[in-house]
Amino acid sequence: MKLSNKLQKLPTQFFAALVQKVNTAISEGRDVINLGQGNPDRPTPPHIIKAMQEAAANPQTHKYSPFRGIQELKEAAADFYKREYNVDIDPDTEVAIMGGSKIGLVELPMAILNPGDTMLLPDPGYPDYLSGVVLGDVHFDTMPLLEENEFLPDFGALSNAVKDRAKLMYLNYPNNPTGGTATLEFFENTVQFTKENDIAVVHDFAYGALGFDGKRPVSFLQAKGAKEVGVELYTLSKTYNMAGWRIGFAVGNAEIIEAINLIQDHLFCSVFPAIQHAAVAALNDDQDCVEEQRAIYESRRNVLIKEAHRIGWDVKAPNGSFFAWLKVPGSYTSEEFADLLLDKANVAVAAGNGFGEFGEGYIRVGLLVSEDRLIEAIGRIEKLGLFKGEAASITK
C-alpha cells in the first residue's frame, strides 16, 4: 500500500530530523546541551494539575465532550481576553476550542480556502504552517522577515500580483523563530492592508505571555477592526507549561470561528473534558505563575546574550518568545554551523534555514535549559575559537 499523493507531498518534519540527530549523539554517550528544542522545561503549575486531578476523578468527564468544547472554557477564554487585552469576545460565536493551536494552523487552509487558492506565510516561520498548505491543496507566497525591519513583513514590498492572489495571511508575534514582536500600529496597518486586499488574517499568538524589557506583547485583536478580518490562536502550552496537555483556542471573526468549529465537528470529538476544566483553572485563577515563568525566560535571555557578547559573538537580544535568533559567524551556512556545534561542542541548535529561505545565516536557540547550562553551552562554543580570529582551527 502506498501513501496518498497528498501525504507524499508533506514537507519533511524539520523538528523530527533535529531530534534524531540529537538522540544519535546522546546514544553515543555524549553530554548534549539541547538548545534546539521548543519544549518548555518547567512543570505545569500545581493548581492546574490539581484541577485536572479533581476533574479526572469526576465520572462526568469520562463521557464525550460537547463537540465544540465545554461552555465554561469558552467563557473563560472570553473573560481572559477581556481581562488581559480589554477585547470583547462572544463565547458563543467567537471562540473555538482546539486540541492545541497547531490543529487550527493546519486545518484552517482546508476550512476557509479552496484548492489552488494562495496564502501568505512569514519567512522565516514555523515549519508546520507548510503542512496546512499541502493538506489544504493551496499555494503560498512568502513575506520576508528581515532584521532591518524588526522582523516585521513589509506589505509595501509585496507585488500587485501577490496581493491579488492572496486570500489568507499568517502572522506570529512574538515570533518563532526570530523573537521579534509587533506593535499596535503594525497590527492596525495589517487590518487596513488586509481589508483593502480582501485577505483574512490568522495571528498565531502562541508566545503571547512572553514579552521582555517591560513591554507586553500586543494582541492582534486589540487593533481596531481586527475581528472584521481575522482570528487569533492562543495556546496554553507556553503560558502555563501545558505543552503535552494539547489545549488551545481561537478567538475573533465569527465566520472563521464557525469554519473551525465545522471542520472540527467532522475531525474530532473535542478534547478530554478534564483537560478543558484544567484549562479553565489556568485562565481564571491567579496569574502569578505566568509572570514567574516570563521572568525566568527573560533572565535566561539576559545570561545567554551576555555570555555571547563576552566571547565576541555579535548578536541581538530577542524582544519576546523563548527563543533567540543568532547570526551565524564567518562563512558558515546555518546548517554547517549547527552541525559544527553538535559535532565539536555537543551543543544542539536549530539551523535557521529549516524555517525558510530568509532563515539562512541564523540559528535558533531555545531558552529552555537552566542558566548554568546556557553558560556552559557558550563556554563550549568559545573553545572552538570562532569569534577571536581562531576559526581556521575548525575545518568545515
Per-residue pLDDT, 259: 98
Per-residue pLDDT, 349: 97
Per-residue pLDDT, 153: 98
The pLDDT averaged over each successive group of 10 residues in the chain (396 residues) is 93 82 93 94 98 98 96 98 98 98 97 98 96 97 98 98 98 98 98 98 98 98 98 98 98 98 96 98 98 98 98 96 96 95 97 96 98 98 83 41
In single-letter form, the type of residue at position 129 comes to Y
Helix (H, G, I), strand (E, B), or coil: what is residue 295?
Answer: helix
Q: Are 119 and 201 in contact (CB under 8 A)?
A: no
Per-residue pLDDT, 9: 93
Per-residue pLDDT, 17: 80
Predicted TM-score (pTM) of this structure: 0.96
* Ordered structural domains, the chain, with CATH: 5-43+288-393 (3.90.1150.10), 46-284 (3.40.640.10)
CA distances in angstroms from 235 to 45, 186, 322, 337, 358, listed in the order given: 16, 22, 14, 32, 26
Per-residue pLDDT, 396: 42
Q: Strands of 350-351's sheet, edge to edge?
A: 323-327, 362-366, 350-351
Helix axes 14-27, 334-345, angle to 10 degrees: 20
Per-residue pLDDT, 393: 40
